[in-house]
A = this chain, B = another copy of it.
């Protein structure tokens, strides 16, 4: 029996040869995620190499009414890149070239499949770097699509501020260029900003122009411990309010410290910690460290443990970036659920401590960490995979976190996005705004083929 999709498959084969496949293993791979969702494989996977091929794929899918799902590195955490309605996954791994570096204009043009580690590797000799730094080695196309941020957003901003221009293939197969290489512009609707964070529901990004930063003359990093969460989070609040231009200020709770010690052989005291980094001139990083140190002392924090050498700093941030995998290794039989909220900085201490006491009451493991300089923190909820009561408890905890964030004037996701996991909060956060999103979506993708099942109201 041939599939009703066979004509579309034939057209895709004609376009891409063996770079289009309906093979089981490719489909299975693109049906998995880092999230707690069950597998949802697509009907086929395409590996384009050019924008023209992407436009061809989308045109074929439009003609046959098939869903089109972009795939970067598949590290998103709310089921963003799964295929709940089947369709064709467009894997950007073969569009992974850095096309142009302009050191004079501090910008770079990349294909969407370039990963952040690859990009910074290729930039090393230029004295420039791309600052946005989610823990995972995500792609730039994926990071733009989830409006990602990470450890350095407190200083350098998120993908929102660091994407200067895009090339996008729309649902009708048209190719669009948004933005220019000028640092700013005031010529009409900000289409770049519309596609950043759209989770592939409005089009596929085929090229990105990104702002770069100069590698700082001096970098220093340190950790310090606090007796309780309240003291650690108050330190963050005071630091941000005092305007110290922190390059990184990360919170990890005592549970995560225990995990780090177990997995990395470190001997950090099992207390809440801040991990920080300063960027600037030798003089200005010293000034920053002194000002920050005064706040830490006032709040009863420990002396800094400095990571002096580049390799010590790399080890420190690698440990931070691997926190998620380290915790999963520590609790292997769990149904791991990460959740991400963001609150106004003045509400950070309240949000974190209320969350922590909620978790303590539940009896579940639920280590907390976060990019707290932005008021952004995550909990990794770890209910027993085979215990529905524990899973229900974890869901209730995540739910209360989201509600608390909204109550405190914040948002249900600082950086991970909506995907399928947070659809249930869109109404509460946006009200009429969610309907406006649907109006825009329908205008640009009337058939609803671009990543259906995500971000928008499900009808």
A residues neighboring B (CB under 8 Å): 102-107, 146-149, 153, 157-158, 160-161, 170, 174-178, 180-191, 193-194, 196-198, 202, 213-214, 237, 241-243, 281, 283-284, 287, 342-346, 374-376, 405-406, 409-418, 422, 425-426, 429-434, 436-437, 439-440, 442-444, 455
Contacts and interface: CB of A to CB of B under 8 A. Distances in A.
Nearest to A442: B443
B415 A184 contact: yes
A179 to B, nearest CB: 8
Contacts of A174: 432
Contact of A342 (B102, B184, B193): B184
A429 to B, nearest CB: 6
A182 B429 CA distance: 12
Interface centre among A157, A191, A429 (most CB of B within 10 A): A191
A436 B445 CA distance: 11
A287 B286 CA distance: 14
A412 B184 CA distance: 11
Given A188-B455, A415-B186, A437-B191, A177 B431 contact: yes
Contact of A413 (B161, B183, B185): B185
Nearest to A170: B436
Contact of A149 (B149, B184, B197, B440): B184
Contacts of A191: 433, 436-437
A433 B183 contact: no
Contacts of A417: 186-187
Contact of A414 (B149, B185, B194): B185
Contact of A409 (B182, B196, B416, B432): B182
B444 A439 contact: yes
Given A375-B183, A414-B185, A160 B190 contact: yes
B426 A185 contact: no
B104 A241 contact: yes
